[in-house]
Structure 1
């Protein structure tokens, strides 16, 4: 069908929609027909869609519904290579030239002889590009990461074997597809590894990340599950609020079981294999029920990746006998580079390199911290039409420079300690990684949703804070109403506030005092004075993908936040003296 529409060799087929069978079919079809498979985030603006479609010279655009179609119609005139648009998720609302429904599109291929397709497939080489992943670059325009047939097939097999995915002939594995397929993590787990091992794939509802994911998990009961940190955090928040409402006895039993679970699992992690009697009891009374409630009762592989996760969240799940294992990698390494395993993991480490891949710590400092570099068959071909950027990423010796700072421990486990670009360098020349300080503040203050540290080239650090609030089910826009756990927290403090605006407009004494107290407690543990948070401000809206502060995998886009709230940041440093 793609060939009938006139897809040319090495031209893009862009796919814009939520995960579905049609997404997979369009992706694989584009590759077999000799084009590039190119996912576009459903949250992209028309301009961002245009940038991707133009840069890969797209011949065909596949969209899910009328809403996504509108974005393309708005920019169609700027896409000289575009020959056809296909809509799959709902019936067409209007007829237009070169606009096809999915069934019309599928019918087109009937007239193309199999020999023509076979010739194209046979002319393809393992080292040729077949997929473009556009990195949602936190700075500047996104870059098209070129992945070859070999990148995808080798990595899918290597990663699947590494985490001991079973072949379908031996045991049927099941996964839920819900993370954006334009991102390498979902593509690797849901398409390529799933094809390699015969995994059964179930598609979640499009509003999965707004709350329906757990329903799908309960229905499917997957054997492997990859969640981004925000997904695990949301589960943790929900479980805590449900727990808080149960009877005193239940709470006591749960608290006892969590203590046993954490102790036993930490010992296991450090190599003790004996399991105490009370652990078996706790598993029967608590852990099994909890797993069932979130649909993970058959899941032997719970993973997290794509952004940093806090130690608190990892310990929360570990205490319920759910080890959440961290993996690490990037689009430029076809997804995974290091992976933790059930019998080989350490809290806050991303595990060890895949078999056949190497890690180098470039220019380590006294503590062994340096830039993490990768090599292996999973390393990308380069950025599409960006030779300079490719040379910045891959050095003469073939090492891919990640831009992340990290170190190995004595057992060879990798720890990420920060991003080179993210480091705050104060006017006094201190290098400060922001994430640990932000995590400490969120941990000390359960009503804080997002925290972002600022102070680059300034005399002291300050912080932007947002409160946990409800969000619009349709758009994901943060609302003014506080989330249930934030309201509960306010009540404990003696505040009657139920809205973000009430707290900010009245500078709610109880809440502001509690935040100041929490920040003072974090400052107590600071390594040096330079690492103390001297000022802070509460913002009127929480960060969101909708507002542009978070990327598609909920990663904080620091430059975007700094730009959006530059007035508030300037205010911190407007007065000459830092508060003592």
Structure 2
């Protein structure tokens, strides 16, 4: 394990900024970064900004077509390459003539230049001046569930406003320690971990391998932890594998043991030091949040998108309402546009963290904003009397069944996800008479007899259906064999399920069973 201290980080950043200037690129040239999360990802990002260039992040598991598209569309002149899986495939997707710079890690292929050589050969950059806040500093390409990625423009003002706002509501409490494992190509990890750690002078530990997440989380024991619902779901599965729910419930009821058990579980997970635990990217089921609360862990749900620099709403330790995504963050103006009789409408924002628009795409930029300058999120929601935002779906994510009636899948998925035998789920119904829930099983579900899994799923499905209109009710549950991953194209790099890909993959099977209302559970 290598440790790099702040003074050394600064020296390397300054020397790399000089090296980049010496490549002879025009001011504002785009320079890409890819590879798993490492200290050098941070350093490259800072060096690019110091030298007056624009950083472009790429996911280490990005599809070759997306790599080609992003580098061509952004007109990237150079790219930093870090350790990553399938590196040969990635290198094969690079446009001809792009300058490559290798980070100093094993398994990084030969490149035009090597990080350590450039740092040694160049004097530290001394002529840095703070840029105009409106100057473009980064392009963050949305992973998107359909179509080509869009390059969200982020300027200095966007970045500073969002970072400073987050630290107002989550101030430092002593020495802070971060664990960086979510993709750095995404706006959230860049702001909440990279930028915040620099402001706070915090330690940052980097995940070496996704398969070692549980093991290394315990080793790091961060003071702040951020995850997507799937990560928390798997933490829960890990706990229940060692201590079944019935035993856990029994022990938590014994006053003398309850406190000891909670402490032991928190330490076993690696969350005993965590002062802030956040979940985002997708809704986290309320029953899962309640389960964590039972063991003494409060998970706070927040909301944001690349286009508003992930600065929108958050629940906080002193203001947490389960099921909501919290209240608007300081300085973030929020409104519900044209609410219906339930108070639901499109969620819109206006604040200095909002992007100026999409790179080289005036048409999509125009669609992104209302006539009076508010950012259209595409998400549907309502705000309660205390200012807490509840997301009720996507404006365009609804589908129509063959009965001609519209169904909003998000609330139904959220309701069924209370079942701990489910790992991932997706409601589909376009081209069907009645909606069907497609699920993959958690480790707990895979370990149970089929009959027991089916009984639990049917009971929960019937409970959910009792709250729905007839046309919204789940006709059946399809249990599929393969997990949904970034590798097989079912999930985006930010771990969101691609509904269109799920539909494409399983529709032939669903159509064969459409109209069969007797069978409640199908196994692929």
Same-fold call, TM cutoff 0.5: yes
Does residue 1:9 correspond to 2:27, yes or no? yes
SS across alignment from 2:163: helix
SS across alignment from 1:202: strand
Matches within 5 A, 1:252-401: 252-254=250-252, 256=253, 284-401=259-376
Instruction: Please say if residues 326 and 351 of structure 1, whose CA atoms lie closer than 8 Å, have aligned partners that are also in contact.
Output: yes
Instruction: Please say if residues 421 and 453 of structure 2, whose CA atoms lie closer than 8 Å, have aligned partners that are also in contact.
Output: no
- Aligned mate of 2:132, from 125, 134, 139: 125
- Alpha carbons of 1:516 and 1:190: their partners in 2 closer, same or farther (altered >3 Å)? closer
Does residue 1:406 correspond to 2:381, yes or no? yes
Partner of 2:67: 49
Instruction: Please say if residues 358 and 374 of structure 1, whose CA atoms lie closer than 8 Å, have aligned partners that are also in contact.
Output: yes
Does residue 1:88 correspond to 2:79, yes or no? no
Instruction: Please say if residues 87 and 100 of structure 1, whose CA atoms lie closer than 8 Å, have aligned partners that are also in contact.
Output: no
Q: Deviations over 1:172-204 (max 9, x none)?
A: 211111111001111111111221222221112
Instruction: Give the Cα separation in 2 of the matches to 1:513 and 1:218.
Output: 34
Partner of 1:220: 220
- Alpha carbons of 1:415 and 1:131: their partners in 2 closer, same or farther (altered >3 Å)? same
Does residue 1:418 correspond to 2:418, yes or no? no
SS across alignment from 1:114: coil
Partner of 2:198: 195
Partner of 1:265: none
Instruction: Please say if residues 286 and 418 of structure 2, whose CA atoms lie closer than 8 Å, have aligned partners that are also in contact.
Output: no
Matches within 5 A, 1:59-208: 59-65=77-83, 69-76=87-94, 78-79=95-96, 82-90=98-106, 94=110, 99-110=112-123, 114-115=126-127, 118=128, 121-122=129-130, 124-166=131-173, 171-207=174-210
- Using the TM superposition, name which of 127-136 and 547-556 deviates more: 547-556
Q: CA shift at 1:105, angstroms? A: 2.6
Count of aligned pairs between the two proteins: 501
Q: CA shift at 1:303, angstroms? A: 0.8
SS across alignment from 2:106: coil
- Alpha carbons of 1:66 and 1:486: their partners in 2 closer, same or farther (altered >3 Å)? closer
Partner of 1:34: 52
Instruction: Give the Cα separation in 2 of the matches to 1:452 and 1:43.
Output: 22
Q: With structure 1 as the length reference, what TM-score do the two structures score?
A: 0.81
Q: CA shift at 1:452, angstroms? A: 1.8
Q: With structure 2 as the length reference, what TM-score do the two structures score?
A: 0.89
Partner of 2:9: none
What runs of 5+ residues in structure 1 fail to find an aligned partner? 258-277, 469-482, 496-509
Partner of 2:16: none
- Alpha carbons of 1:144 and 1:79: their partners in 2 closer, same or farther (altered >3 Å)? farther
- Alpha carbons of 1:68 and 1:150: their partners in 2 closer, same or farther (altered >3 Å)? farther
Instruction: Give the Cα separation in 2 of the matches to 1:245 and 1:525.
Output: 26
Please tell me the root mean square deviation across aligned C-alpha atoms, in Å.
2.5
- Using the TM superposition, name which of 178-187 and 562-571 deviates more: 562-571
Instruction: Give the Cα separation in 2 of the matches to 1:315 and 1:402.
Output: 28
Larger Rg: 1
Instruction: Please say if residues 28 and 53 of structure 2, whose CA atoms lie closer than 8 Å, have aligned partners that are also in contact.
Output: yes
- Alpha carbons of 1:579 and 1:392: their partners in 2 closer, same or farther (altered >3 Å)? farther
SS across alignment from 2:504: helix
- Alpha carbons of 1:344 and 1:140: their partners in 2 closer, same or farther (altered >3 Å)? same
